Structures are given as C-alpha cells and as structure tokens.
Structure 1
Amino acid sequence: MSGDQTTAEKNETQGSSWAKLSLVALGVVYGDIGTSPLYALRECFRADHAIAASQDHVLGVLSLIFWALAIVISTKYLIFILQADNEGEGGILALAALVSPSESNSEYRRWAIFTLGLLGGSLLYADGMITPAISVLSAIEGLEIAAPALDSYVEPITIAILVGLFLFQSRGTASVGTIFGPIMLIWFFTLAGLGILHLVQAPQVLTAINPIYGIRLLFENQLTGFLVLGSVFLVVTGGEALYADMGHFGKQPIRISWYWVVLPSLLLNYFGQGAFLLRHPEGFTNPFYLMAPGWALYPLVVLATLATVIASQAVITGAFSLTLQAVQLGYSPRMTIRHTSAEQIGQIYIPLINWVLMFACIGLVLGFRSSDNLAAAYGVAVTITMVITTVLFFLLTRMRWNWSLPAALTVSGIFLAVDLAFLAANLFKISNGGWFPLLVAAGAYTLMSTWMSGQRLLARRIRERALSVELYIADLMNDPPVRVPGIAIFLTSNPIGTPPALRHNVRHNKVLHEQVVFLTVSTAGVPHVRLAKRVEYEEIGEGFHRIMVSYGFMDTPNIPLTLATLPSDKLNLQSEDVTYYLGTERLLATARPGLAIWRERLFAWMARNSQPATAYFSLPPDQVVEIGSQVEL
C-alpha cells in the first residue's frame, strides 16, 4: 500500500510540474504561432495574390490551414522533430551538432552539415527582426477598427512599444516571465471564445476539415490558388521557435500546451473567422477585429498588444540563445554576454544583437508601414529553415537512429514535400519584400562563415610556425632559463604545439615559471558538459603540464572556476600566484593561398572587435599578461 501511495505521490508531483511548465511554455514557446490569427487568414484574401472571399474559397483556405497545422506542427515538430534533441536542447545549430560526424575522414560531410546549420541560423536572425515588427504592428492596427481617427498614430505607437521592449532586455525577463504564461492563457481562451461566438452562427464551416476543399482550391484556382499557400504558411511560422525552446521546458510540457490549449484555440479562432466571412464576406480586410463585439475592441487591442510583446520577447530570447550557440561553436566572434538571472541559465542578454534587432524592427515598421506589406516579407526565411531542418532530420534518422532507408525517405519525404510546396509559394513574395530576410540571412551567413573559415586559416598559419611541445622542452632544457616561482598558464588552440606567447616570453624575458601549463579550450557537440567532466590533465615533465578543458555549446566558459576542480595535489591553480598568458595576434590580409582578400580583411576586422578573451573566459584581469604577434593570413 505504501509503495502505491509513493508512486501516486510521484505521479501527482510530476503532473503538477508539467502543468506549471506547460503554463509557462505558453508564454515563451507559443507566442509567435499564437498571434498568427491577427494576420494569417486575412492575408489569404488581402495580399497581392489573394483570392475572393467566396464560400468555396473560405472553406478551401480553412482546409489548408487545418492540414498545415496538423502536418507541420502537430506531426512533424511535436511528434518527430522534438525527438531530435541534443541532450535536451533543440534548435537548428544543436541539431547540426548532433548530426555532424565525428570521424576524422568525414571532414566534407561535417562541413556540409554545419553549412546547412549555419544557413538555417542566419535565416532565423531575419525571422527575429520581422516577427516583433509584424506582430506588434498587426495588434496596434486594431485601433483602425476601434477608432479610425487614430490611424495616423499606429506607426508611432508601434515603434514606441518596440523601443520599450528592447530597452527592457538589459534588465532580464526573469522577473516578469511568470506572468507571460497566464497572459497567453487568457489570450488563447479569448481566441477560442471569439471563434465559438461565430461558429455557432455558421457551423457548416467545420466541413472544411475535409481535405477535398483545400485540394479543390489549389486545382481550381491554379497559380493563384497555389500562391495562397504563401499566406497559409503564416499559421505555422512558430514551428522552429518551439523546437529551439525545447531545452527550457522539455518535450512533454510543450506537447501538453499544444494539444490541450494552443491547437484547439487556434482552430476555433480560424474557423470562427471563416464563419464570420461566410456571413460577412466584406469583412476580409480584418476579420479578427471585425468579428469582435464593439464593446470588446479596445480591451482586445490591449490584450493583443500584450500577446505580441510576449511573442516578440520569445523571438528576441531565441536570438540571444542562437548567438550563444554560434559563439561557442566557433561561428561567431566573442561577444559581450550578460547573465540576467542567477537561477536560470538561459536568461542572457547580448547588447549587440539587441540593438541590431531593435533598429531593424524600427526600420521595418517605417519602411513597410503596415502588417500587410510586412506579411510579404514574412515566411520566406522560415520556409527555408524548415526545409533545412527536414534535411538534417533525415540525416539524423539514418546516421544516429539507424532507420532503414525506405522508412527515413517516407517520413522525411512527406515533410519535405510540404515544406517545398510552402517554399515555392513564398518565393513569389521576394519582389514584394521577401528580399529583406534573404538579404539579412546572406549578410549573417557571410559573417559567420567568414569567421569560421578565418579561424581555421589562422589555426593553420599558427601550426605552420609551431614547434612540438616535447621538442621545444628538450631544447629548452639544454640551456635552461631562470625559473621563477609561480604558475604560468598559456592559452593555446593547438594542444601539441608550443604557444607563440611562451616562446616570445622566454626569448625576451629570459625567464620561465616553475610550473607551466598549456591550456586548450574546446567546445563539445553537446549542450552541457558537467563541471566534474570538463578537465583532462596530463603531466609532461620538467614542470610542464597540459590541460584540456571542454564546454558544451550552451555553457558559459569560466576558466578559473573550471580549473578549481583539478585536485590540488596535481596543481594548486587556485593560488593567487597564477598568471594567464594570452597571445594576441595582429592579423594581416595577404595574397597567400587561403581566403579571398576581402574575406581575410573582414575576418581581421571582426577579430579586432571581438570581446577580449580575458572577459569571455572570466579571467581575473590583474593576473593576465597579453603578448602580441603578427600573423600573415
């Protein structure tokens, strides 16, 4: 009996935990997809390639929306993609790291996989710029319905809200994170309530669940019907966000939130908008707000604004997390990364990314001026990212999960067919604004790929001049310099080569510390490496030691904290008599075989402006000595 009670108590505790996490997940994971009803259905009837709001067209669009949510979100992401976790973490870079082969003879495959991940990550930055702009703007546009006289104030109010949102980032979201979930719960209940209000007046709209209506729309309207898919895709644009945020909540709470709250609310609202259009086809200009009772318009605008701010917050947080992964995996220069919460590891703030996103959002609002125009730019980046995710998922099923080729092709093929159909429809948006996310992605990809290639080139140039540690020590001991008390730690990217900083120090200062440590820091292809497992130690002899430190791509490097885990009987690295030596290279672009001259110059510029290693590795500034050298790329 007592055993049964214990099991019941455990189940109750677990259920309570999942309930709390599911509630919080509403405010982080589903903010983007949850605010799509503000503009998604309307764009099918208002965009440049729109169709008339006739009964057949309304039922056809609703059918496409229903099956898009069922296939892309409910099946692809919630059932399959969420299983593709990298030790609990999600997101396209985490997936690329999981799929990347570890064999040394697979360099080309590794390069191809990480290139896909890099491209997908670059596209998500573009999504991070558009989502806050279109979400907040579409919410404030409700004022045009409630009070047409306020039409001219929509843009200024939108910009003011966006500026306030980005200014708030430096303070962190931990303090208000607990209210995001309840607000979004109210939002989803409101979506459901508005939908039911009109469904009871035109219940025949529910027949749109039949896929025949969607298929008929596509075939009868030919090209125009196919292009409507570009607008239908707006209902699933949050798919990548829920995968990227998996590490914060786990799979089960995300699934519970979707199947029990988000999906029913979205479907009720979309079908409610369709029912409204069947009775009022002239309301296609903004069915979401027009189907609301007059007395509810102002409260609805306020609630929609809160929901879109929360959705924007989730996207901004996602951009910070993506950047942290990119820095750790060697795709990006070191940046200033501030932790805004002592309890939650994921709460970070990256000033550079914050300000870039803010000015981009303001520019989008001023440049496109309406959510209609922004919708033309929205979707292109996300569709390409979804295609890349499906390709990486196929590789995962074959390389890690050992699926048979027919099984992997069948599952991934179905998803890829849907993704490519959406992508093809969105490509027609390029001339109307879709060029913007592609331009942003191209810029981000150029920067990150140049940094990654430049780092490899720099490492190769240093290795060309490096001497073997063992040979250098043997040569040094033939005519040993003066040994001084203390421990010198030389950071080096090449664990078997002698750091240039050591050679310069001995050559110019004619001294050598009693204990010399060669420290190499690397990033593993997993999110986290436990503190006790991060350090590998090797004694070389003659007072020389080699230490390998490994971090996960979601860990924050802290060299002193990590080295403190080394037993003191090996080295007392907690002593104040420890000096860290860093080599700072002055990079010169040359005509030597390597990168294009413009990329070498770009890499040198990024290296000069990256965060100093002292701050990035949390080294005590008064114990750091930097020794410069010149490297010709």
Structure 2
Amino acid sequence: MGPEMSGEDRIQDHSNEEESLERASSEGHVESGRQKLRRYDSLDIESAKFSSHRAHGTKQGGGEWSVILQLAFQSIGIVYGDIGTSPLYVYSSTFTKGIKHDDDILGVLSLIFYTITLIPLIKYVFIVLQANDNGDGGTFALYSLICRYTRVGLIPSQQAEDQDVSNFQLELPNNRLRRASRVKSKLEQSRFAKYFLLFATMLGTSMVIGDGVLTPCISVLSAVGGIKQATSAMTEDRIVWISVAILVCLFMVQRFGTDKVGYSFAPIICIWFTFIGSIGVYNFFKFDPAVIRAVNPMYIIEYFKRNGKDGWISLGGVVLAITGTEALFADVGHFTVRSIQISMCAVTYPALLLAYMGQSAFLRKHKDLVSETFFKSVPDPLYWPMFAIAVMAAIIASQAMISGTFSIIQQSLSLGCFPRVKIVHTSNKYEGQVYIPEINYLLMLACIGVTVGFKTTEKIGNAYGIAVVFVMTLTSSFLVLIMIMIWKTHILLVISYVLIIGTVELLYLSSVLYKFYQGGYLPLAFAAVLMTLMYVWNDVYRRKYYYELEHKISPEKLKEISADTNFCRIPGLAIFYSELVQGIPPIFKHYVANVPSLHSVLVFVSIKSLPISKVPTEERFLFRRVEPMELNVFRCVVRYGYTDVRNERESFEGMLVERLMEFVREEFYVLHCNGREQDNDNHRGLENHDDNDHEEDTEKRVDDEAKIRAQEQVDRDLDMVEKAWQTGVVHLIGESEVVARKGAGLGKRVLIDYAYNFLKKNLRQSDKIFDIPHKRMLKVGMTYEL
C-alpha cells in the first residue's frame, strides 16, 4: 500500500479540486447537459450534478399563507408554553427578600421589558432565526453552517461533490470582505479552534437538554402551588407528588407527536395568553397606571444604585422572564421562520408585557404579597378558571423544551456526536417533527428526581437560570462568527450586537453563576454527564474513521483479489456497508480472506451525514466504478442531512439499484459520447479547412462503431445489474470491534475498552438504525486496535 495522505492534506486536496472545477466551469469546458468525466480522489464529479433547487424554501419563510397561519397557531402551543408561564414565578424569584422601595418595582419592570424586547424579540425572532440551516435551528444548526463555510470538521470526509448539493450551497453576497477571509483562514488552520467549536456545540446541546429537564419541574410546581391559596390542607409534599403525576402523564403523551400535541395545546395557550393579558390590563387600570413609566430605562439605573449587589443578584430572577427562548430557535424545524415571527409579534410579546405591567401595578399596592404575586393578583371570580388554565399551561410549557431536546439530539446523532438512538418521525405532513423514546424516558426520570429532590421553585429557579443564559451566550458567540464570515455583516453592526446583546447576556450570566452553590450546579452537572457521553462517542468515532482511512484497500490489492484463480463469482447483488467515504474499508479484506467469493455485482455503500438539514432524494446517491471494469464493483456514498428520514417507505435497495443503473447510463454518455465529440471538435479545430471529406467520413464511421460497441457494453452492464438484483440482495454489515492497542495509556484504555464499548453494547446496532431485513443480512466482524 502506498503512503497515505493525512486528513488535513486530503481536505486541502479537495479544496484544490473544487477550485479547478470552478475554473473549468468559468472557461466553458463543462457543458450544461453532460459533463466530461473527470477522476478525483473522492468520487467522480459528474455523478453529483443535478438541477439546483431549494427543497426547503417553504421552511425559510415562504409557502402558502394558509399553511403559515396553521403553523403559527400550532407554534403557540409548542414554542411559547415555557416563556408564557414565566409570569407565574418571575416576581417571586426576583424579590426573594421582599420589596424595599416602591420604585424597585418599576426598575424590575423596566428590566423585564427591555430584556424581553432585546433577547427573545430582536435577537432571536429577527436575527437568530435568519441563521437557520435550511429551516432547522438549534446549536448544531449554527455549527453546521460554520462547518459548510469553513473546513473545521474533525473527520476528513469532505468531498468536492458535497458542495453540488443544492441545500449545501450558501447564498453569499458578492462583496467578500477581507476580514471574513482572515477569520475563516485562522479557524481552518487552528486545531484548537476546531476542537473548541465542537466543544462549545456539545456544551450548548447539553445545556438545552438540561433546560428540558428543569422546565417541566419549575413550571408544573409553580402552577400546582397556586392551590395553597384555596386550601391550607395542601402541603408541600402533596404539591410535589401531584406535580410528579402530571409530569409522568406529560411524557407519556409525547409518542403521539408534535403535530397532534400542538393542535391540542395551542387553544389552551391562546386562552392562557388572553387571560394573563386581560388580567394585566384590569390590574393596570385598577391599581396604578403610572407603571407605564417603566419604559424609561433610568429606572434600571436607579434600581441598581439603590440596591447595589442585591440588585445584581436579583437579575437571576429577572432572567426567568425569557426562559424557553432557546426552544424558539431549536423548534423552528417543526414550524417555519415566518410562522414563529407572526405568533411572537401578534400574541406572545404583547400578552407578556401586559401581564408583567398588571402584576407591577398590583404590587405597587400590595408589596407584602410578592411571594404569591400571580395568583393573588387574579380577581376572585376568575381564580379557579385561572388555576385550571395555569396547570394546563404549565404542562404545555414543558413541551417546548422537550420538542427542542428531541430536535437537537437528532442533529447531534446524525453528525456523529451522540450514541445511536431511535428517531421516530411523527408527522407525514410537517417535516422535522420527531420523537425519541429512550431520551423521553430518561428526561421523565430526571424530571421526577429534580422535583422530588428540590421541592421548591426557588431552588429550581437558581439552576434554571444558568442553563438558560449559558445557551444564549453560546448562540451569540456562534452568531457573531456567522455574521462575520457568512453574512458579511458591516463591522459596526457586529460591534453593536456584541456591545448591546452580548453585554446584557454576560451581565445575566455573571448573576446566575453567583447562585452556583444554591442549586446552580445542577445544569452544569447534567452538562458534564452529557458532554462526557458525547465526547466518548465522538472521539472513538473519529479514531475508527482515521484507522479505516489509513488501512483502506489499495487498487493494487483489489486487482490481486480479482486475478486470484481460486476466487469465484456467485449470482446476486451484495451491498457492503461502511462509514469510510474515501475508499474500500479494510474489513472487506478480512471478508474475502475467509469467504473467497464475490457476488456478481458488489456495491460498497457509505452512509454519510452532511452538515445540512436535508439532502434532496435525487441528489442523495453518489457513484463511482471501481477498476477493473469487469469486476462490476461500485462505490456509493449515500448522503443524508441531519433531519432526513433514513427508514424510508421506499425500499432503500430499490432506490440504490435505480440510481446505479442511471449512473451506468450516465457513464456511457460522458465517456463515449460527449468526451469523444469534444475531442473531435478540438481536433477538427486544429485541422486545415481544405482537408478532404473522405477523412471526415472515416472518422464518423469509426465514432459510430465505437458508440455501438459502448452501447452494447452498457446494455450488458445494465442486464448484469438487473439480473443480480432479481437473483437476490445480500446486505453485508461491517461490525468492527474496537480495542485500545497494546501499550496504550490508561486514559485511552478506559475511553475505548470500557466507556465506548459499554455505550455500544447497550445501544442500537446498525441494522436497526437502517432497518435492514434480518433474513438477508450478514455481519462481518473485525477488531480494530486503535
């Protein structure tokens, strides 16, 4: 085997390929109908060409208004349950030591007003949602955008052909700025930056999952706790166990999917927003309309002057007014950008401001009731209806983070950063709506544990704030990179974003970290466990890939196998699965050493996840023939986005055979028609115009005979593939066991031999992920010493 290129060299090599292809296109050497076949180290470039289109156009804000309005209605029930129920506990969490001055109420109201306006409305609804990845959101969506524009991925599986996928292309402005190129170059050349970006992505993902645990606990406990106002017989322990029962019911209905749950929940949340907005208006006019003065930010400055350190600490309560905002971005894949913008601006934002203004007006006259602000501010005739709706709204509040958790785990799973779990797509009508059974039950157990262990919303609130602000800060960091490198935003606007939004978020982060020992450690503990799990899986995943890359079968070795007289061919089609994109995996050599026979047609299939949300079906399969041609051996890369359905209703093998036959026909036209016609055109362009017609006729006759022979060869190849498929398909799965090599350090042995293998043995296997029929499946085992 010849010397192997390193991963960085391969990536650079692919970059050169792309540049040469672009130059060829600009010079007119690549025809629009049929491209001339060119050999590259990854796969043949011509097999990636398809008509460009935008499969996710509707997800980015387009589409019929009837669909957008339906999704806007659904999003009220799924996205805003969490932020919508924050009035239940914000004031009680902010004024934990009571209200010392009348104007402190105006100061906190002003803080709430500007925080909701700056973070959920301006930052997320009008800026961050524009950074969606073909309609999908979340921390991994931002990371995937950066990975597509800069080569910061740690696995060298990038191919020049990937950029031909229509959804892969970024719509970049023409005026490329020098600073964007400098930032991009520094990221690509720094190994630390690559690891740091992956680490930050995992941290953000872990924090959102931790948020998904805390949201149900604090929301349900706050709502159920309101019954204490009606009866003194309701003790704290009873409230806790009623909350636990509600949480169990909530997680049990997740299997029905976001679509059905959304239509069930949306009317309730609409009623909730109507109630809190109306009661807010009632209290505003009844108690103190003067609280409208809180729009003056001077009240914030005076609040901090009066309270000093206590005012800074109270920010940990104020930040609870924007809980669930990250779910707004993570859940955009369940809906559309436009639908979320409509529901936020028309319903959520005005209802929340009215609710907080009404509570502030009430507190101006009843400062001693701050610990039970919400239910005490409800007029007596509306208490029981409001209590019932509050409990239902609190149940629904949990849905936003649960749905968001499912979405980001699906993304991280597809990008090799999470162990294999089952992804259930719950809606045929709307894309991106998923349910993960294993994660659902783990979240349920964690929620029960936190509710029983903490018992009060004050302690959970301390933990909740850290998870919320950490994710927001990471999102802002990624967004600044996207603004500089991809959007080419004016530097003054970038600086303004950092100074305004960044300063606000860092101020809140410093405040919530102060409560680390009062429960704030909980989300960080969750994040530590999840990041350890994700790091173990991703690290060994990368080590396996590099091992296969270094030990792949060379073309010379494959020719030796085919020339072996003891080797026999048996009828049928064999599909050999592996993760290696750049060649034939070493496990195949292990297979032929023990089974000296090959099927009449053999296809090496590599399942590859691209850093995009969806790959159109017609652009999914990428083929190349393995020399010598008489072997009938092909390589195929099957490309998926991180939200694509892999267990498709269409037969995978049927789609693969259909695309393979298309490739064989394409290969004929490219090699024997276009290529030869172009060569003849070039040759005739150099000849003298006075050449006799006899030579031209002879050339034409030779060309026609060559085409006939080539067409006969194509017909034989197509017939071979058709017969092999009809004879039967065998699915060969490479199941590699990994162990630490002899002499490896203790850390590597623990990582590979114990942590990774424990996860692998207790999680789903490849055949379950790809829904391969067991009767036609053969596993080939091999041990890799990493």
User: TM-score range, shorter-chain basis?
Assistant: over 0.9
Cα distance change on mapping 1:13 and 1:520 into 2, 3 Å:
closer
Aligned to 2:573: 487
Residue in structure 2 matching 1:478, options 553, 558, 563: 563
Q: d(CA) in 1 for partners of 2:431 and 2:654?
A: 16
Displacement of 1:618 = 2.1
Which amino acid is the alignment partner of residue 86 of structure 2? Answer: S
Q: Which residue of 2 aligns with 1:270?
A: 356
State, as a whole percentage, how many aligned pairs show the same letter: 34
Quote the residue 1:58 is aligned against: 105
Pick one of 267, 270, 278 that aligns with 1:193: 278
1:96 to 143, 150, 155: 143
1:593 CA drift (Å) = 6.8
Per-residue deviation at 1:222? 1.0
Corresponding residue number in structure 1 for 2:201: 117
Which amino acid is the alignment partner of residue 554 of structure 1?
Answer: T
Matched, 1:583 2:676: no
Using the TM superposition, name which of 484-493 and 456-465 deviates more.
456-465
Q: Which residue of 1 aligns with 2:517?
A: 431
Q: Report the CA distance between 1:574 and its aligned residue.
A: 5.9
- 1:310: Cα distance to partner? 1.3
1:332-359 Cα offsets, whole Å, 9 max, x none, are: 1111222333434433221221111111
Q: Which residue of structure 1 lines up, in the alignment, with residue 250 of structure 2? A: 165
User: Cα offset for 1:14?
Assistant: 4.2
Task: Specify the SS of the correspondent of 2:500.
Answer: helix
- The residue that corresponds to 2:170 in the other structure is none
Q: Between 57-66 and 407-416, report the one with greater CA deviation.
A: 407-416
Query: Is the 2:623–2:636 contact (alpha carbons within 8 Å) kept by the matching residues of 1?
Result: yes
Partner Cα distance (2:588, 2:521) in 1:
50
Q: State how far apart, in whole Å, the 2-side matches of 1:327 and 1:336 are.
A: 10
Match of 1:79 among 120, 123, 126: 126
Is 1:224 matched up with 2:310? yes
TM-score (norm 1): 0.94
Alpha-carbon offset, residue 594 of structure 1: 10
In 2, are the aligned partners of 1:489 and 1:516 still within 8 Å (CA)? yes
8 Å Cα contact 1:97/1:525 also seen in 2: yes
2:225 maps to which residue? 141
The 3 A distance-change label for structure 1 pair 304 and 508 is same
DSSP-derived class of the 1:90 partner: coil
Q: Does 1:182 align with 2:267?
A: yes
Is 1:153–2:238 an aligned residue pair?
yes
| Structure 1 residues 188 and 391, CA gap change in structure 2 (3 angstroms) | same
C-alpha contact 1:31 1:308 (8 A) present in aligned 2: yes
CA distance in 2, matches of 1:234, 1:373: 13
1:378-457 equivalences in 2 (<5 Å): 378-457=464-543
Distance in 1 between residues matched to 2:317 and 2:452, nearest whole Å: 22
CA RMSD, Structure 1 to Structure 2 (Å): 2.1
The alignment covers a number of residue pairs equal to 619
Shift of 1:51: 5.0
Give me the whole-angstrom Cα distance separating, in 2, the residues matched to 1:454 and 1:562.
31
Match in the other structure for 2:785: 632
1:554 to 2:643 alignment: yes
Match of 2:674 in 1: none
Aligned-partner Cα distance in 2 for 1:333–1:106? 29
- Tell me the secondary structure at the aligned position of residue 255 of structure 1: helix
Contact 1:273 1:288 in 2 (8 A): yes
Q: Give, in whole Å, the separation in 2 of the partners of 1:576 and 1:41.
A: 72
CA–CA distance in 2 between the matches of 1:17 and 1:631? 51
- For 2:231 and 2:657, locate their aligned partners in 1 and report how far apart those are by CA, in whole Å: 63
Inter-CA distance 340–85: structure 2 relative to 1 (3 Å threshold)? closer
How many angstroms does 1:107 deviate by? 6.5
Q: Distance in 1 between matches of 2:376 and 2:75?
A: 29
Contact preservation (8 Å) 1:54, 1:278: no
CA contact 1:142–1:297 (8 Å) conserved in 2: no
Structure 1 gaps, min length 5: 1-11
Letter in structure 1 aligned against 2:750: W
Pair 144,575 (structure 1): closer, same or farther in 2 beyond 3 Å: farther
CA distance in 2 between counterparts of 1:621 and 1:544 reads 24
> Relative to 1, partners in 2 of residues 1:554 and 1:564: Cα closer, same or farther, differing over 3 Å?
farther
In the TM superposition, residue 595 of structure 1 has moved relative to its aligned partner by 6.0
Aligned to 2:74: 24
Q: Specify the code of the residue in structure 1 equivalent to 2:768.
A: A
CA-CA distance at 1:467 after TM superposition: 2.2
Q: Distance in 2 between matches of 1:529 and 1:53?
A: 58
| Counterpart AA for 1:596 | K
> In structure 1, what is the Cα distance between the partners aligned to 2:657 and 2:99?
69
Distance 1:508 1:316 in 2: 48
1:618 pairs, out of 752, 771, 776, with 771
Question: Which one is further off, 224-233 or 598-607?
Answer: 598-607
**Distance (whole Å) between structure 1 residues aligned to residue 396 and residue 486 of structure 2:** 36
TM-score using structure 2 length = 0.76
2:525 aligned partner, one-letter code:
L
Alpha-carbon distance in structure 2 between the residues aligned to 1:436 and 1:306 = 26
Unmatched 5+ residue regions in structure 2?
Answer: 1-61, 153-187, 665-720
Partner residue, 2:749: 597
Kindly state the Cα deviation for residue 280 of structure 1 after the two structures are TM-superposed. Answer: 0.8
